[in-house]
Structure 1
Amino acid sequence: MNNVVLIGRLTKDPELRYIPNTGTAVSTFTLAVDKGLSREKKSEMELKNQPTADFINIVVWGKVAENCANFLTKGKLVGVSGRIQTRNYEAKDGTRRYITEVVANSVEFLEWGDNANKQSTPSNDDDDFFNGIDGFHPTDNDDIPF
């Protein structure tokens, strides 16, 4: 079983490129995922200038990649599900390089807009914004069973 679920913040804006000959979109970004340390351990690590988060490379393909590049920015909170992939290559200096990354099949935008403290669920004023994104459809609160 190879299944990964992460929640973290983008360390920089996603990079979007297109594969030559096929035109397939691919986006890459890095997530800072909190290590879930106790308050004391986190303070201790911060005093020693040690990271309190893991930095995970994410790769996204297709329309999801385009949506990530168009709507995500540095610092936004996202949820990612996918699989771990490892690969290697020979660098120009002749050394073997190894890469471990998450190939995402789903990316959930957990924050919208410029305000990081803004509610993660969009208001009805945002309906027109979401109509232009594949997979997003406005709902009526009367349709929610609770």
Structure 2
Amino acid sequence: MTLVGRLVADAELKYLPNSGTPKITFSMAVDRRFKDKNGNKITDFIQCEQLGKHVENLVQYLVKGKPVYAVGELNIYNYKDENGCWKSITKVNVNA
């Protein structure tokens, strides 16, 4: 999957607790190719994450409002919340 959009906020750098592997998370606004029936553009907000030592250097360039190009795979995580209701989280694991 290839996404082109703009960063909604600055990327966040964190480290995985068990391995210490660096991880960045960011959200991007991606406009659809078509408009709604009133002529307004439709924008999706996509959650993304990327792992690896190289992201420590990359995070400084991922700031709010910057255009961004991401290639990755779509992942959907399903889980039960504390009330026993099923929830899902959709993210793109970025490869490049």
TM-score range, shorter chain: 0.7 to 0.9
Q: Paired residue for 1:6?
A: 3
Who wins on radius of gyration, i.e. which is larger? 1
1:59–1:101 Cα contact (<8 Å) kept: yes
Match for residue 63 of structure 2 among 73, 81, 103: 73
Deviation of 1:42 after TM superposition, in Å, equals: 5.9
Q: Paired residue for 1:63?
A: 53
CA distance in 2, matches of 1:90, 1:67: 36
Q: Paired residue for 1:82?
A: 72
Judged with a 3 Å threshold, the aligned counterparts in structure 2 of structure 1 residues 69 and 93 are, in CA distance, closer, same or farther, namely farther
Normalising by structure 2, what TM-score?
0.85
CA distance in 2, matches of 1:45, 1:30: 25
Consecutive unaligned residues in structure 1, runs of 5 or more: 107-146
Consecutive unaligned residues in structure 2, runs of 5 or more: none
Normalising by structure 1, what TM-score?
0.59
Bigger helix share: 1
Matching residue's letter, 2:82: K
Moved beyond 6 Å, runs of 4+:
none
Provide the aligned C-alpha RMSD in A: 2.0
- Of all paired residues, the percent bearing the same amino acid is 40
Number of aligned positions between the proteins: 96
